[in-house]
A and B are shown apart, each in its own frame.
Chain A
Amino acid sequence: MKQLFTPFENVGKNTRLFIILGWVLLLVGFWFVSSMGERHLFPSPQQVWQGFVELYNEGLVVHIGSSLLLCFSAIGIAIIISLLFSYLSTVPIIKPLAKTLSKLRYLPLTGITFYLAILISDARTMQVWVLVVFMSTYLTTSLLSMLNAIPQEEFDHARSLGCSRWEVLWEVVVKGRIDYVIDVIRQNLAIVWMMLVTVESILVAAGGLGFLIKNSDKFMNHGRIIALQIVILAVGLFIDFALNYLRKAFFRYSKI
């Protein structure tokens, strides 16, 4: 028992499962206790289940599909822009542009949406581009640090094999780091997923999880809000798991 409270102590698989189970039971117990009585902060599990059933009947799956479509469209465009700037940041004339794009992550959402609203009239396109602008800055930041972390020996190795500078870029950075790009997407997915729900709730277009949250919030339906939060968390975690699985399945050498 003492080992459970000792720093740096290694525990067995069964003990680890026991610890996780203990925490889950504690969380569920807390939820039950905190949702009992007249006045309570969280809705009861029954209310959440009820909320979930209602959402399902109102087309939850379609809304998840809409959110995922928005997420993948935005991530597709953003990753192309970010990769282009990051790879070309090895060229001295492009480097300042890539660094600037990375620094733009400190810009507030409101300023950007104002100018995008002038340029774009369609709400769905607007949603995509708000996400693209923001995701590009975060993805570029991660991709630039991935590039900086490549040891000089790898570049020298390629050069010693007679590779031209463009070949070095292609072999060492582009082909040699595809698995890292997937991991960069995976790591930034949490920000994207969080932003996506916010963007959907601000700019109402084709439904989506953000739109559902906003609606539920309006009517103070706490059961639905928590049910939606759980769905959003589960979908996010599933994408995270799927990307990690893809990376490991397709790139056997990837030991990130």
Chain B
Amino acid sequence: MTYNMQNTLLYVENLSVAYGDKVIIKDVNLVEKDVVREGHITGQVIAVVGRSGRGKSTLFKALTGLVKPTSGKVLIADTQTGAENDAKEVQEGDIGFVDQKYTLFRNKTVYETMQFALRRKEMTTEEKHSQIMQYLKDWGLENEKDQYPCELSGGQRQRTAVIEQIFCSGHYMVLDEPFSGLDVGNIEDVKKAFDLITASHEFNTIIYSTHDIELAVELADSVYVIGYPTIEGERMDYGTIVKHFDMKEIGLAWKDYGLDHIEVVKQIKEVMLAS
């Protein structure tokens, strides 16, 4: 499938995070560009996999500006200026973050949650209302409009959390283990959510972590393995990116899951076990 790369959307350079003396991640480098396919609106889907305790959540918090890096930087495309390749350092709120528990405001209904997410948008109340209602309809949440988070199912919570972040943060969204604890139906819901997000804007970029390597390979066009690196024969005790699988380059992105994908899954598992 032909594609080309344009503007840099995410640029991470020598990113390190330490809590006190404990280094969690170190020297993380990655670059993701806008993938353009003719006749398609193609957002970016980036998966981060790795064994437990390798720093995936910390990496995500640093990417979203929720944790200050000890060193290094995270740059994202500044789409407000209109100029090509303008970048800015990531701040809290620039990148949407949906955690594993799909945390929402416990005291706000689905509709109130959406209203809050749109609070800073320069739109009239009517425009906000119609945008909210359109999304609730598209994402199958119309009947849950006046429900509180504690009254929603796992799938409904997850969809609410995703829409809320879409409304608030623009083009980027980080999801920490969005498939964890979901049944087959809910997993399909998340996949549909990914499609809806990536099909709505070229710059839309989803970054997610998962322990399900098959799902990472099936959905992502870029897979990063985070693990403990081995330097000069010695295994370090901090996380970093130990391998990058560019699914576009391999020719497996945007394709139905098949035997070639299984081969990549095998390779990823080997890298994970060694790190």
B84-103 CB contact bits vs A (8 Å, 1 = yes)? 00000000110111010101
Q: Are A160 and B105 in contact (CB under 8 A)?
A: no
For residue B120, CB closer than 8 A to chain A, the reply is yes
Residues of B within 8 A of A172 (CB): 105
Q: Are A251 and B96 in contact (CB under 8 A)?
A: no
Residues of A within 8 A of B105 (CB): 157-158, 171-172, 176
Residues of A within 8 A of B40 (CB): none
A56-89 CB contact bits vs B (8 Å, 1 = yes)? 0000000000000000000000000000000000
Residues of A within 8 A of B106 (CB): 154, 176, 253
For residue A40, CB closer than 8 A to chain B, the reply is no
Q: Are A161 and B164 in contact (CB under 8 A)?
A: yes
For residue A54, CB closer than 8 A to chain B, the reply is no
B160-195 CB contact bits vs A (8 Å, 1 = yes)? 000011001100000000000000000000000000
Q: Are A153 and B150 in contact (CB under 8 A)?
A: no
Q: Are A157 and B117 in contact (CB under 8 A)?
A: no
> How far, in whole Å, are A179 and B150 apart by their CA atoms in the complex?
14
- Report the contact-size class of chain A (Cβ under 8 Å from the partner): 20 to 34
Q: Are B66 and A156 in contact (CB under 8 A)?
A: yes
Q: Are B107 and A159 in contact (CB under 8 A)?
A: no
Q: Are B97 and A162 in contact (CB under 8 A)?
A: no
Q: Are A253 and B107 in contact (CB under 8 A)?
A: yes
A156-170 CB contact bits vs B (8 Å, 1 = yes)? 111111110000000
Q: Are A157 and B148 in contact (CB under 8 A)?
A: no
- Report the contact-size class of chain B (Cβ under 8 Å from the partner): 20 to 34
Residues of A within 8 A of B61 (CB): 156
* Best-surrounded residue of A172, A251, A253 (most CB of chain B within 10 A): A253
Residues of A within 8 A of B101 (CB): 153
Q: Are B168 and A161 in contact (CB under 8 A)?
A: yes
Residues of B within 8 A of A159 (CB): 66, 92-93
> How far, in whole Å, are A162 and B117 apart by their CA atoms in the complex?
9
Closest residue of A by beta carbon distance from B99 = A153
Q: Are B96 and A157 in contact (CB under 8 A)?
A: no
Q: Are B168 and A162 in contact (CB under 8 A)?
A: yes
> How far, in whole Å, are A255 and B152 apart by their CA atoms in the complex?
14
Within 8 A of B (CB), among A144-187: 151, 153-154, 156-163, 171-172, 175-176, 178-179
Q: Are A176 and B107 in contact (CB under 8 A)?
A: yes
Within 8 A of B (CB), among A109-165: 151, 153-154, 156-163
Q: Are B107 and A160 in contact (CB under 8 A)?
A: no
For residue B116, CB closer than 8 A to chain A, the reply is yes
For residue A252, CB closer than 8 A to chain B, the reply is yes
> How far, in whole Å, are A96 and B125 apart by their CA atoms in the complex?
43
For residue B43, CB closer than 8 A to chain A, the reply is no
Q: Are A160 and B150 in contact (CB under 8 A)?
A: no
Nearest Cβ on chain A to B215's Cβ, whole angstroms: 23
> How far, in whole Å, are A255 and B104 apart by their CA atoms in the complex?
15
> How far, in whole Å, are A171 and B103 apart by their CA atoms in the complex?
14
Residues of B within 8 A of A176 (CB): 105-107
Closest residue of B by beta carbon distance from A151 = B103
Q: Are A253 and B149 in contact (CB under 8 A)?
A: yes
Closest residue of A by beta carbon distance from B120 = A162
Residues of B within 8 A of A157 (CB): 97, 99, 103-105
Q: Are B92 and A162 in contact (CB under 8 A)?
A: yes
Q: Are A156 and B103 in contact (CB under 8 A)?
A: yes
With contact pairs A160-B64, A160-B92, A175-B107 given, residues A255 and B150 touching in the complex (Cβ less than 8 Å): yes
Closest residue of A by beta carbon distance from B148 = A253
Nearest Cβ on chain B to A218's Cβ, whole angstroms: 51
Q: Are B150 and A253 in contact (CB under 8 A)?
A: yes
Closest residue of B by beta carbon distance from A179 = B107
Q: Are B96 and A160 in contact (CB under 8 A)?
A: yes
Closest residue of B by beta carbon distance from A158 = B105
> How far, in whole Å, are A156 and B67 apart by their CA atoms in the complex?
10
> How far, in whole Å, are A104 and B168 apart by their CA atoms in the complex?
44
What are 24 pairs between A and B in contact, CB < 8 Å? A153-B99, A153-B101, A154-B103, A156-B99, A157-B97, A159-B66, A159-B93, A160-B66, A160-B93, A160-B95, A160-B96, A160-B165, A161-B116, A161-B117, A161-B168, A162-B92, A162-B120, A163-B93, A172-B105, A176-B106, A176-B107, A178-B107, A253-B107, A253-B149
A interface, CB within 8 angstroms of B = 151, 153-154, 156-163, 171-172, 175-176, 178-179, 251-253, 255
B interface, CB within 8 angstroms of A = 61, 64, 66, 92-93, 95-97, 99, 101, 103-107, 116-117, 120, 148-151, 164-165, 168-169
